[in-house]
Amino acid sequence: MSGGRKFFSKHYSDSDLLRMLRSGNQKDRAIVYRHMEKHPSFYPAIRRLILGQYGTEEDAKDIFHQVLEVLWTNVNHSGFELRANSSQNKAAALSTYMYSIAKRLWFKEFERMKKQRITNLETDDISGQEIIPMMELYERKKHVMELLATLGKNCQEILELSIVKEWSVESIANKLKITEQHVKNHKVTCKKRLKEKILNSPMYKSLFDEFINAR
Amino acid sequence: MGKYSYIELLVKRYLLDELTGQELSEFNERMERDANFARFVRGLEKRLEDDVVASVNLLDFRKEILKLSKEKPGYQKRINLQFLLRVAAVLVIVGAPIFYFRSIFFPSKIDTITVFIEQYEKPVIGQSRSNIESEVDSTWIAASSRYAENDFNAARALFTQYRRNKPQSYGAQFYEAICLLELDKTQEAIVMFEKVSLNSNAFREESSWYLALTFLKEANKKACVSLLKKLSSAHGTKSESAKGLLEKIENKDWG
């Protein structure tokens, strides 16, 4: 209910938006999405960038969604916060971060499509040193998510209900109309299959190589 | 090369719980002997667990934003700015006074639902109810106590624990569903209330009543009204309350 009320508020500070994105509450995240979709500094700015660089409306939306994923991943896994820059002594705006991320994502996509190298990336307030680790963390998590997406709908649903929504085995069994034992078995098998895929990915292969070479 | 592959394979099989008893004890011995190896395995184990959780969360987040994007496209069309400003000016001049007075005399849909739900408090676990469930059961007593203190997380866990020994306990299911409702896990609460209300037991009617309130909270008017009609025509203890709530819903512009 409180989320619904907040929807009608006019202004959210950057820290409000980050807190709501981190909260795990779907209503709060919907407010963040709607706010960013409308506020000129967020999606409209990214949209202008993409349309001005040979992209389509669809590309703009896709990049905006990826920027949200980068931000969400970093907020949740690396504790990303807006930090004051030592030279300017004030934190860059969240929209500036998002714009810089969008620029990098789009140029990367553009390079992939046109096979053309783009080099003029260092024109933002946010340096590559800050953005690149954010992008790398996202790429790593995205790669693992893509492995999960290959598992099939049933596995995805059981893992989503048990891990994200924290449903009990009983509730999952009731929802999917299967036995509790079936849910337990499925959960173990799906998790194992996902782990297997992750362990066999090049990302983990390099971890093994690093360890073995250091010995 | 052979050695490298062997270590990699061994660690992978350990992380996938595939080692036999003998292999596992040798592996554990190796971990005790070799601190570097143990650190590497533990680090990998944690990273793997983190990656599993992160992948599921990220996929869920992606679905969520795609759904939001489809619900309301926004900024898909180029709009003439001058036309937009004119419309906005007219809306402000005409709409603002209407909106102001409307909010005073007619509460919004959200206010209406909140008022309905806030009128009804969580059910109390009475002596008679606890007798139905159990005379002297320490888990039940602990669950009731946490529930009375509004510690719904702990109460829920204890009710679940209680049901492990007594899977047919409708009382425990009912109060657990109330806890889920209080914890804002409405979808799980709905599943549990439905289960109790579909079977013959002492909590059947009350469960239907709270199921109706849950539907109300979810703004599912159709399901809520349908349940309230059944309750009001059943001439039970919730019949009058159901009639009263039905009248309120029908009299409000909710919809």
Question: Which pLDDT does position A186 carry in this prediction?
Answer: 93
In angstroms, the Cα distances linking A14 to A8, A21, A23, A82, B62 are 17, 11, 14, 8, 22
- Considering only CB atoms, B65 lies closest to which of A33, A167, A191, namely A33
Buried b (16+ CB within 10 A) or exposed e, A82-106: eeeeeeeeeebebbbbbbbbbbbbb
Q: Do the Cβ atoms of A163 and B7 come within 8 Å?
A: no
* CB proximity A73 to B under 8 Å: yes
pLDDT, residue A168, reads 92
Question: Is this model's pTM higher than 0.90 or not?
Answer: no
Q: Which residues of chain A have pLDDT under 70?
A: 1-10, 83-91, 115-126
As a whole number, mean pLDDT of residues B215-234 equals: 86
Instruction: Say what the pLDDT of residue B115 is.
Output: 55
B122-150 pLDDT, tens digit each: 787 765 554 555 546 888 888 988 888 88
CA–CA dist B105, B92 (Å, integer): 20
For the segment B163-182, what is each residue's pLDDT rounded down to a tens digit?
888 888 888 999 999 998 88
Residue B222 banded pLDDT, cuts 50, 70, 90: confident
Q: How far is B159 from chain A (nearest CA, A)?
A: 12
Report the pLDDT value the prediction gives residue B33, as an integer from 0 to 100.
94
Question: Do residues B161 and B155 lie in contact, with contact meaning Cβ atoms separated by under 8 Å?
Answer: no
Model pLDDT, residue B234: 86
**Residues facing residue A91 across a β-bridge:** A84
Cβ separation A164–B55 shorter than 8 A: no
The yes-or-no verdict on residue B108 having pLDDT over 70 is no
pLDDT at B116: 57
A window 80-139, beta carbon within 8 A of B: none
List chain A residues with CB under 8 Å of B185.
Answer: 165
The average pLDDT across B96-123 equals 61
pLDDT of residue A3: 37
Mind listing the pLDDT tens digit for each residue in B193-209?
Answer: 998 988 888 888 889 99
Instruction: Name the minimum distance, in Å, from the CA of B24 to any CA of chain A.
Output: 18
Q: Which residue has the higher pLDDT, A151 or B221?
A: A151
Q: For residue A73, what are the contacts with CB-CB under 8 A and spacing of at least 6?
A: A137, A138, A141, A142, B54, B58
pLDDT for res A124 = 58
- Quick one: tokens of B150? 């509004």
Instruction: Pick B58's closest partner by Cβ from A37, A73, A200.
Output: A73
Residue B73 pLDDT: 46
Res B10: pLDDT: 92
Question: What's chain B's average pLDDT?
Answer: 81
Say what the pLDDT of residue B200 is.
83
| Whether ipTM exceeds 0.90 | no
**Looking at residue B72, what is its pLDDT?**
57
**What local confidence, expressed as pLDDT, does residue B75 receive?**
44
Q: What is the pLDDT of residue B74?
A: 45
Closest CA to A27 of A42, A8, A6: A6
